[in-house]
Amino acid sequence: MVVIVLLQFAGYIRFFAWPAPEPVLRARWAFYFPTSFALWFIAWRIEPFFEWVMLGYLGQLFGAVPPKYSIPGAIAVFSLYLPVKVGWARLGSLSLKEWFGYAAMAVVWSALGLFIHRLTVTSAERAKLIQELQAAREELKRAGERETELAALRERERLARELHDSLGHGLVTLTVQLEAAQRLYTVDPARASALMEEMKGLTRTSMEQLRRSLAGLRAPVLGARPLPEALAQLCSETSNRTGLRISCRVPAEAAQLSPSIAELLWRVAQEALANAERHAKATSVDVGVEVTADGGSPTTRQASLVVSDNGTSLPQDAERKPGHYGLRGLRERVEGVGGVFRAEAATPHGTRVVARVPVVT
């Protein structure tokens, strides 16, 4: 009988530790407890020593089954236990004091059972919470790793854009000027020497921009220059170097734009002029800036830069070509500050680059 009782307790532990849906659990307990109490009753009638085992089964009942089932079950067990304990014949002759004692015992054991049930539920909830916290911790860890990878990718893209916009433009300009100087040495040595001096200055500027890139690209390329002055100088230098007719229209209020927005628009103009020089085979370019009120918010304005040329139209897949980071980088820059970027074929021919960014006042 001892072995049977031990096996029953082992089965209880197995049932309790084996997670399952609620209907399956109810079926388990509906089989386990009636069987266990029946075996206990038989063991008790054979050997009175097993009477105490009832308390263990009642503890299991209250610990595993909700009160709406465990309390009626405990009442049924006690209703069977008491007549057998005192005898059916003596049951009717019990004194009020004896009835009160048995009732008090039933209430005490029911309260203890409910306490056990509360402890069991609290322990299960705590275990579930710990599992959820561990899962959340693992998810946060994975999210942190993904964020680190994304940050590294964003930094690589940023560095690629900066190198393309600074060092790349400088090298292209040096190449063009070297070719021009090579042709001029035999026919106009003075002009060739002047180009060599310009290339020296451009080389120093490119080296300074490279140092800024390696240092984190924290220094703005415009320095203390306002946007109208910087764009006018860019257009003038490009026109003198390439022979392009460049019209530059920048209102005075553009000088009040923040350094970050001014540098962004300057970068867009620089890339658009470089594309007009290298790819579009244009003869004239129009550069215009506007600062207008944003109808969606009284405290927000909009700065727009439009660069149009009369060269060949922009291919539809220009941004997707491998190795061509210019337009792709400009789109990432503009959209990164909540702006809109478009590079499209103009009518009837040529290319039109538009960048619109919000300016909060």
- For the chain, give the mean pLDDT: 76
Given a cut of 70, whether residue 22 has pLDDT beyond it is no
Mean pLDDT value across residues 162-182: 73
Mean pLDDT value across residues 151-167: 65
Residue type at position 110: S
Does residue 260 belong to any structural domain of this protein?
yes
Distance CA 266, CA 221 (A): 9
Distance CA 254, CA 287 (A): 14
Distance CA 248, CA 246 (A): 6
Q: With contact defined as beta carbons under 8 Å apart, do 354 and 304 qualify?
A: yes
- Residue scoring higher pLDDT (19 or 135): 135
Tokens of 202: 């451009």
Return the closest-CA partner of residue 4 out of 26, 35, 30, 45: 35
Given a cut of 90, whether residue 350 has pLDDT beyond it is no
pLDDT in tens, 64-86: 777 777 778 777 777 777 777 77
Does residue 49 belong to any structural domain of this protein?
yes
Q: Does 361 lie in the same domain as 230? A: yes
Tally Cβ neighbours within 10 Å of residue 88. 8
Please tell me the pTM assigned to this model: 0.45
Q: Which of 139, 170, 199 is the last residue of a domain?
A: 139
Where on the phi/psi map is residue 216: left (φ > 0), alpha (ψ -120 to 50), or beta?
left
Strand partners, 31: none
Residue type at position 189: P
Tokens of 259: 């350094």
- Residue found under tokens 């509906």: 30
CATH code: domain of residue 310: 3.30.565.10
pLDDT score at 251: 92
Q: Which of 139, 174, 203 is the last residue of a domain?
A: 139
Q: Does 230 lie in the same domain as 357? A: yes
Distance CA 118, CA 80 (A): 26
Domain residues for the domain of 231 are 226-361
Distance CA 246, CA 310 (A): 11
Does residue 188 belong to any structural domain of this protein?
no
Given a cut of 90, whether residue 287 has pLDDT beyond it is yes
pLDDT in tens, 217-272: 444 567 678 999 999 998 998 888 888 899 999 999 999 888 888 888 998 898 88
pLDDT in tens, 73-120: 777 777 777 777 777 666 667 777 777 777 777 777 777 777 777 777
Rg (CA), the chain: 43
Q: Which of 89, 117, 139 is the last residue of a domain?
A: 139
Work out the end-to-end distance of the chain between its first and last CA atoms, rounded to an integer number of angstroms: 87
